[in-house]
Amino acid sequence: MATNQMRREAAKRKLARQQERRALQAKRRKQITMITSAAVVVVVVVAVVLLTTLGGSGGSADTTDPAAAGISPERIPTDSAPLPTRPTALPATVNCAYPASGDAARPVQPPATADISAQGTVPVTLETSSGAIPLTLDRALAPCTVNSFVSLAQQGYFDGTGCHRLTTSAGLQVLQCGDPTGTGGGGPGYTFADETFPELTYGRGLLAMANAGPDTNGSQFFMIYGDAQLPPNYAVFGSISADGLAVIDRIAQAGHDGSLDPVPGGGKPLLPVTIEKAAVQ
């Protein structure tokens, strides 16, 4: 027959087991909470990285460039692509709009907007630390783009700025410039509409605008020295001379630092490229 003492001992043991179970359950709850919190942090970090790399304000051609090494000469096409032509010609003059957008990387005035010529070409030479890169801007292809580029060049916006992105992958071989901040996020404080058409294709020797989505053009542009498998979302507004392409080829062969891999791809050129002056002839 159980005595009072025995009942008290049994009750103590039962209470001890209950307290042990509660302590174990509390420990498990804490571990689960910590794991869940860590998972949430990981998800948030991944989301931030994706938003930063895919939706940056500076604009990039969206592709992955896994090779940080320089591109070998045999991988660079030797034939330049023909300059595209619009399926329907523009009128002799057009009106453009350059609405304010964000802070300007350098103080500049927006371009003129009325009666902008859509005829003829404009020679521009990028005098760079690696050599001269002569360009021919084509108003018939993208008059508002040419108008903006010439205005920025004449105001000295590009002078003393580095080309911040080189890609060397088989699908995208370009040198991207036009951001005074060197981060890929800088612009002139205004944007303008895309001057594209479905028939646009890209290739060696073409000059095109970088963007961060529809109608977000600013000051950043890219020079295609090789392959460029892109959708027709980037306004082509001119061409690069053979001598200019030879300069870019040397830059590409030196490679990049991989700082922008895997998205948007590429990195800073290992042979630094500074636009000392963008001279409009």
Return the domain boundaries, the chain.
1-54, 56-280
How many angstroms separate the CA atoms of 216 and 218, rounded? 6
If you search the block for the tokens 């507004």, which residue do you land on? 237
How many angstroms separate the CA atoms of 145 and 131, rounded? 25
pLDDT tens, residue order, the chain (281 aa): 556 666 666 666 766 666 666 655 554 444 333 333 333 333 333 333 322 222 233 455 444 444 455 778 768 888 999 999 999 999 999 999 999 999 999 999 999 999 999 999 999 999 999 999 999 999 999 999 999 999 999 999 999 999 999 999 989 999 999 999 999 999 999 999 999 999 999 999 999 999 999 999 999 999 999 999 999 999 999 999 999 999 999 999 999 999 999 888 999 999 999 999 999 99
**Using one digit for the tens of pLDDT, what is the confidence trace for 41-96?**
333 333 333 222 222 334 554 444 444 557 787 688 889 999 999 999 999 999 99
CA distances from 84 to 140, 174, 220, 249 (A): 10, 18, 20, 22
Q: What is the pLDDT at residue 75?
A: 83
How many angstroms separate the CA atoms of 147 and 243, rounded? 24
Write the class of the CATH domain 56-280.
mainly beta
pTM equals 0.77
